[in-house]
Amino acid sequence: MPLFEVETDSHIIITWASDSDEASGVVSVAYPHDTVLRLTKRPRDTWVISKSALGLSGKTDPCNTARDCLSKSGGDKVHAIRLYMHETGSDLEQAQRAIESNMVMGW
């Protein structure tokens, strides 16, 4: 099954799909308010993201609390950051780093 990169007005989604219609369907289910801007069938069956290009260094283990906050917020980063601050007592910078790094790791 091919790997597709789907860019919307708010997200970049990497998904397995049998064709471009199915890949677009993934977006409509996961992010019904997003509009697909670009859909590309990837030439290979893997996707690599450089952590250094994203500004991540050191330990990057997934954080269950951050992932729970992302899930509760429906992927809304700002709301997830607020939830994380409330649940952990972290300051804004710590919460933003935790949420964004977990978003990058595919919560």
Inform me whether the pLDDT recorded for 104 exceeds 80.
Answer: no
pLDDT of residue 10: 85
In a domain, 9, yes or no: yes
Name, in order, each residue with C-beta under 8 angstroms of 17's C-beta and a sequence gap of 6 or more: 1, 2, 4, 23, 25, 26
Q: Which domain range does residue 73 map to? A: 64-104
pLDDT value at residue 75:
76
**Do the domain assignments include residue 54?**
no
Is 39 in a helix, a strand, or coil?
A: strand
SS percent in the chain: helix, strand, coil, step 5: 40, 15, 40
Domain count across the chain: 2
Share of the chain above pLDDT 90, in %: 43
Q: Is residue 95 part of a domain?
A: yes
Residue of higher predicted confidence among 77 and 43: 77
User: What's the angle, vertex CA 23, arms to CA 64 and CA 31, rounded to 5?
Assistant: 50
How does pLDDT run across 2-33, given as a tens digit for each residue?
Answer: 899 898 888 888 899 999 999 999 999 989 99
Burial of 36 from C-beta contacts in 10 A (0-12 / 13-18 / 19+):
middle
Looking at the domain assignment, is residue 59 inside a domain? no
**Mean pLDDT, residues 89-100:** 90
**Residue 59 predicted with pLDDT over 70:** no
